[in-house]
Amino acid sequence: MSIYAFCLYKYFPFGGLQRDFLRIARLCHERGHQIRVYTLSWQGEIPNFIDLRLVPVRALQNHVVYRRFQRWVAADLQKQPVDATIGFNKMPGLDFYYGADPCYIAKTKGTIPWYQRFNPRFQQFYKDEKAVFSPNAKTEVLLLNQQQKNGYQQFYPIPETRLHILPPGIAADRVRPDNADAIRKALRVEFAIKNDDIVLLMVGSGFKTKGLDRSLLAIAALPPAVRERCQLIVIGQDKAGAFIRMSRRFNIVDRIRILPGRDDIPRFLFAADVLLHPAYAESAGIVLLEALVAGLPVLVSDVCGYAPYIADSGCGALLASPFKQEDFNALLLKAIEDKDLRQQWQEAGLRYAKTANLFGLAARAVDIIENR
């Protein structure tokens, strides 16, 4: 039996990274390992197999908090060593890093003035990334797709042997069940949505990054008669005020519902007609694959790591880079008006889901950790 320490800055039940962390930790436990978790905050139920250690550090700036977190964890591990340390945020001293985030240097290149690269925040995040990806580091890196790998290799000559691309990891409850139509009807009754109205769905924390503003603009651009038949349901852990104000400016506030994160996402996947994901950036986007196996058509920007699965399966359409709002507007209108096209997308996704490896992330990650 081994003791594994998992490190992540924040845990809340509805984040993709957080759900992956918990699946991997749970599977490690099921294989007989002890699980210790270091985090700054934990929301929700604490599984009984976890030795949770809330790190008591504070600061006014996040990068300072993270630096103090790293030092506190290192000191605690010095006193009570473990067999492997697995990080879900970039930091020094990791044996394994689960790479849900894009390359920080690639992300900031061309988006911040050159002089900001000398500020403490940039330097801290760059230092943390180098600690994981420098050629001399010993951290094994678990990545979600080839696009991510290519992004890091542009800036870090990391040996191939340290990079591992994981298959996706969808929860089994996302797969479309035999009673999906009944679930659809029940949810629409609950939310007072007519059976023939179009439900557009967005799921994910970080409304700005996920492109909620782009979706609001596209809905505002719909012909009035079409717009009156649509409801956009947004589910995620984020501040909604700016987007509610935006929907009021465009007179579409009655077409929008913004809900906090919740644990019954499958009901919405089965009840909706189209998933919108016009993200500005997305390392992976597990909700894209959850929609695919649920039989929900997807409109997604091609910058998302899992967007190729949508293209390969034929269960929706990709928004090409550079993003053009007018293209998204036209594509959304087409998806709403063409019921036969939506049916084709749904059937294509469900066929693809029967053969593709979309469920093996946790098992593969644990295999790599155990075989170190």
In this prediction, the residues of the chain whose per-residue pLDDT falls under 70 are none
Is 76 in the same domain as 182? Answer: no
Is 10 in the same domain as 104? Answer: yes
Predicted pLDDT of residue 248:
97
pTM of the model: 0.88
Say if residues 277 and 193 touch (Cβ distance below 8 Å).
no
Give the other-Cβ count within 10 Å of 10's Cβ. 14
d(CA 164, CA 160): 8
Domain that holds residue 293: 172-353
- Work out how many domains the chain is built from and give that number: 2
Is 272 in the same domain as 143? Answer: no
Q: Three-state SS for 95? A: coil
Is 291 in the same domain as 363? Answer: no
Say if residues 13 and 43 touch (Cβ distance below 8 Å).
yes
Is 187 in the same domain as 131? Answer: no
Predicted pLDDT of residue 348:
98
Is 163 in the same domain as 34? Answer: yes
Digit-coded pLDDT (tens) for 125-136: 999 999 999 999
Q: What share of the chain is helix, strand, coil (3-state, %, to 5)?
A: 45, 15, 35
Predicted pLDDT of residue 14:
85
Q: Three-state SS for 20? A: helix
Say if residues 283 and 144 touch (Cβ distance below 8 Å).
yes
